[in-house]
Amino acid sequence: MLKFLSRKKSDPTAAAALPAEESTKVGFFKKLTQGLARTRQGVLTQIGQLILGKKEIDESLLEELEELLLSADIGISVTQGILTSLSAQLKRKELKDGPALWQALQVHLQELLLPVTQPLQIDSSTEPFVILMVGVNGAGKTTTIGKLAKHFQAENKKVMLAAGDTFRAAAVEQLQVWGERNDITVMSNAKGDPASLMFDAMQAAKARGIDVLIADTAGRLHTQQNLMEELKKIKRVMSKCSPTAPHEVLLVLDASIGQNALNQALQFKEAVGVSGLVVTKLDGTAKGGIVFAIAEKLAIPIRFIGVGEGIDDLRSFNGQDFVEALFAEE
């Protein structure tokens, strides 16, 4: 069942004193700093109070720093790596005071995120480019799909959605609302087999000249083996329609659940070969440090992060910007 739905356009915003492109970048960074406010005002403020203004750095201060980093959900492995590096710099007398330590910490965190800073590139030679969305209920998967649709539309791409979540009540209707907001076709069949729906959606998208097909799936716990097997089936059916499909498997992770997100990701990665991550709800948690643990443990590109509830609050991930926003002055 195909439907054409109307789009609601967002209000334009711009800073009159800046060129349009620069103004957009400033606006994005401001939104990012606002979205990470809870993490920054929590642990980062405490870290700043601990080290800034210090005229001398010693091992006891680094031990206090270790406790604060762990409280931000950065994780034991990442924290140990940071402390090992900082201790080595301290022995080489490269950390003479608090500001030097503050700067060294930022550099280390940026280097940690550099390998996973890989924006999603849509192959224009592939029609449609198929994105399979996976994740557990409550992570914000369906909402993320709506925001992704808006993102790709802003790049002048034709988008279609496939409502493959036939388990959760009102899931299809929720996706149709997002389709309506963006004037996008939503293909659904609430009583049908999700794998068959995906096959039909791919055929329809190809016939319509769609650039990007975003396929929703039922939210499932990584421990639900029967549902994970269904996810594998969906992938197999997609590959029958197009040998290279799905071209991206995006796993949506809820930042607010901290280290549990890592367990989810490892299981989904093993089951369906996750190729990219979306980290959501960063604006609602004081433990945004989980992003660093995710980067170190999974080594999977972080494609997008969610820093708000608005349709424009899904941002392409940039590790350097992320760290700078965390350390930004209020």
> Is 135 contained in some domain?
yes
Q: pLDDT band for position 162 (50/70/90)?
A: very high
pTM above 0.85, yes or no: yes
Whether residue 238 contacts residue 246, with contact meaning beta carbons closer than 8 Å, is answered with: yes
Q: How confident is the model at residue 75 (pLDDT cuts 50, 70, 90)?
A: confident
- Here the CATH number for the domain that contains residue 302 is 3.40.50.300
* Residue 13 forms part of a structural domain: no
Confidence of residue 26 (pLDDT cuts 50, 70, 90): low
Instruction: Establish if 216 belongs to a structural domain.
Output: yes
Of all residues in the chain, the percent with pLDDT exceeding 70 is 89
Nearest-CA neighbor of 89 among 296, 64, 53, 97? Answer: 97
Of 121, 132, 123, 122, residue with least CA distance to 241: 132
Reduced to 3 states (helix: H, G, I; strand: E, B; else coil), residue 249 is strand
CA distance 90 to 41: 27
> Does residue 14 belong to any structural domain of this protein?
no
What's the confidence (pLDDT) of residue 189?
79
The answer to the question of residue 197 being in a domain is yes
The total number of structural domains in the chain stands at: 1
Of residues 264 and 21, the one with the higher pLDDT is 264
CA atoms within 13 A on the CB side of 202: 25
Residue 276 confidence (pLDDT) above 50 = yes
Q: Is residue 12 part of a domain?
A: no
CA-closest candidate to residue 248, choices 155, 134, 150: 134
pLDDT higher at 312 or 12: 312
Range of the domain at 315: 1-7+19-330
pLDDT at 312: 80
Q: Is 14 left (phi over 0), alpha (psi -120 to 50) or beta?
A: beta
Residue 50 forms part of a structural domain: yes
| pLDDT tens digit sequence for 240-263 | 989 999 999 999 999 999 888 888
Chain centroid to CA 99 = 31
The two counts, helices (H) then strands (E), for the chain are: 13, 8
Look at residue 227 and tell me if it is in a domain.
yes
The encoded tokens of residue 225 equal 């083996």
